Structure 1
Amino acid sequence: MDILQCAPGTRLPDFTGNARPLRQRLHLVLLGVADLARSRAFFASLGWRACASSDDGFVRIDMGGYALGLLSWQHFSKEVFGHQQQPPTGYRGAAFAYLVDTPDAVAECLARAKSAGAPIVKPVTRTPWGVNGFFTCPDGHLFEIDFEPHWRFSEDHKLLSAT
């Protein structure tokens, strides 16, 4: 069966072979948002530019080796669940961490987020492991700005080790 010749929405048979382990990596983080134009403008005000391949239905932001994808909450939930679901409110048990290479950069990044209109939900705080602070985007997704002295980065600021 040539899967790519099937019509969109076609349910495909379950895999029956010996499934190999997934490689330890992620490529794309998808965020459902209420107002795509508003979210695109918010992330642009942080300094994150949308890729040229973005359009009115999907905004792709290059994150240096992976991508952040913004799409309509309604369309996203309908694609996944077959019907539209209501967006969650409040704490969702997940955050996106933006790692910085100096303790002072935490305050600088939070100031940029605040100037972009982000609510600061945890101000710059000394933690047992470093320094952090949190803000939310217009749709309530939680972002952490974090400095920890043991993080190591390549020259282009890719994380070298998580240990």
Structure 2
Amino acid sequence: MPDAGSREEDMRQRLNLILLGVRDVAASVAFYRELGWRRSTAGSDEFALFELGGVAVAFQSREAFAADAGLPDRQPGGFAGFALAYVARSAEEVYQVMAKAAELGATVTRPAGPNSWGHSGYFADPDGHLFEVLYEDGWIFDEHDDLVL
């Protein structure tokens, strides 16, 4: 819902697509399918889509993505100041997802473990995109498995 200060000409407060540049679209599709994600029938071999409950993630070659954005490609490495986060339904799920990602070739950058607020771990997918897998008491999901803030 828009807040009281929003205007009709304002950008809507939502994201619809998460675009990730990858070295090999087919390999990325295989990685996420093995994690349990289902690929959408929309898209193509060069622009693979996965529906995430109102938001979609798209995988496109780094080269094509950089060209589309009008920027030179730079090689991944180091912390980019950005991570995708998966909120698990239980602490046990954090450990399960992290183990599965590692089994599939992800790089575990911080192993799953307890912390001051719950449980979390980080992995980088085969293209270096950083994911946090976390569980914390208090997160609420609706009937569509969407996060309720």
Give the greater-gyration-radius structure (CA). Answer: 1
Task: Give the letter for the 1:59 counterpart.
Answer: A
Partner residue in 1 for 2:31: 42
Pairwise CA distance, 1:127:
1.7
User: Is 1:105 matched up with 2:93?
Assistant: yes
User: Is 1:144 matched up with 2:132?
Assistant: yes
CA–CA distance in structure 1, aligned partners of residues 85 and 72 of structure 2: 28
User: Is 1:89 matched up with 2:74?
Assistant: no
Higher strand share: 2
Deviations 1:19-46 (A, max 9, x none): 8222221111000001111111111111
CA–CA distance in structure 1, aligned partners of residues 141 and 14 of structure 2: 17
Partner residue in 2 for 1:78: 67
User: Is 1:21 matched up with 2:10?
Assistant: yes
Which residues of structure 2 form unaligned runs of 5+?
Answer: 1-6
CA–CA distance in structure 1, aligned partners of residues 72 and 93 of structure 2: 39
Partner residue in 1 for 2:4: none
Q: Identity percentage over the alignment?
A: 37
Query: How many residues end up aligned between the 2 structures?
Result: 143
Pairwise CA distance, 1:49:
1.7
- CA-based RMSD of the aligned residues comes to 1.6
Normalized against structure 2, the TM-score is what? 0.89
Pairwise CA distance, 1:84:
3.9
Task: Give the letter for the 1:73 counterpart.
Answer: R
Partner residue in 2 for 1:4: none
Greater Cα shift, 144-153 or 124-133: 124-133
CA–CA distance in structure 2, aligned partners of residues 26 and 154 of structure 1: 19
Partner residue in 1 for 2:51: 62
Pairwise CA distance, 1:109:
0.8
Q: Which runs of 4+ in 1 moved over 6 A?
A: none
Which residues of structure 1 form unaligned runs of 5+?
Answer: 1-17
Pairwise CA distance, 1:63:
0.6
